[in-house]
Amino acid sequence: MVPYLIMSTLWFLWESSKIPQSTENLPSLAGTYLSMLTYGKAQIQYWYIPFIAVVFLLSPLILRIPDPAFNRITFAASILPLLGTRTGTEISAFQFIYLLPVYLQGIYVARNHDRVIDLAKKHQPLLAFLALACTIALMYLHGNSISFGPTSLSESIHYIHKSSIMFIVLPFLASLEQKSIKALDLFATYSFAIFFTHVTVSMYLVWKILPPETIYSLPLISASSYTLIMGSILYLCIKIFATLFCCIAAKKVLGSTSRFLIGA
């Protein structure tokens, strides 16, 4: 939470400095600041910090639930994300309905690791079919999301899509558990920092050096849907590695104090 509090405060001061302020505005500024901290508004990716903080506060109660009851609760809760209630980066009750079951699933996988891996291996063809079908559906629905009140068909499909991919990847990652792979260790070490700073690096570095309209206007990339997808993956990789490089550089420059700013 320390990086979140410090960086949110710095972003708030930066934004406030752009607008002339007076003593009459202090109550309003204080309210804005508290709202920014409560809802993670300083940067778009910060929403996850107050959200997961609530989940972590509930964790001691969740972990005290006996396994049989926990397993039944997790199975029932796993159906809830199919309602597609995710509200993007806005913290709401619907957000918890969508994402809290995924946290419960993580606990279940940790407690039943070998069984889950065996089931994932057994059903790889089905998982691959679901992932492919969901990819096609999401491409079709792109920009044409179908919603029913607080529910979204696209978010429902995203849940199935990401879950399928996760269980496809799990057996592969399990096979690497006893191996030391420096690249994976590096990403694991900076995982939170990458999440915490990726939007900042994208906005103030990658987008300045290589604007999206520049890369997507290249003839090779804009020639077809396939090359557009490949170009998007390439651009994503550029942003990830640029963020990793910036995090490593920040740690080199700031030393141990970097953990208070970027969490690494």
pLDDT digits (tens, 9 = 90+) for 54-73: 999 999 999 999 999 999 99
Specify the pLDDT at position 64: 92
The rounded percent of the chain whose pLDDT value lies above 90 is: 44
Provide the phi-psi class of 90: left if phi over 0, else alpha when psi is between -120 and 50, else beta.
beta
- Kindly give the residue spans of alpha helices, DSSP state H, lying in 112-264: 113-122, 124-141, 153-174, 182-189, 191-201, 207-209, 212-216, 219-222, 225-254
d(CA 24, CA 3): 30
Strand partners, 152: 147
What is the pTM (predicted TM-score) of this model?
Answer: 0.81
d(CA 131, CA 161): 5
Residue 226 clears pLDDT 80, i.e. is over it: no
d(CA 9, CA 42): 8
Distance between first and last Cα of the chain? 12
Instruction: Return the minimum-mean-pLDDT range out of 23-37, 67-81, 97-111.
Output: 23-37
**Three-state secondary-structure class, residue 179:** coil
Residue 180 clears pLDDT 70, i.e. is over it: yes
Comparing C-alpha atoms, which of 104, 84, 92 is closest to residue 50?
Answer: 92
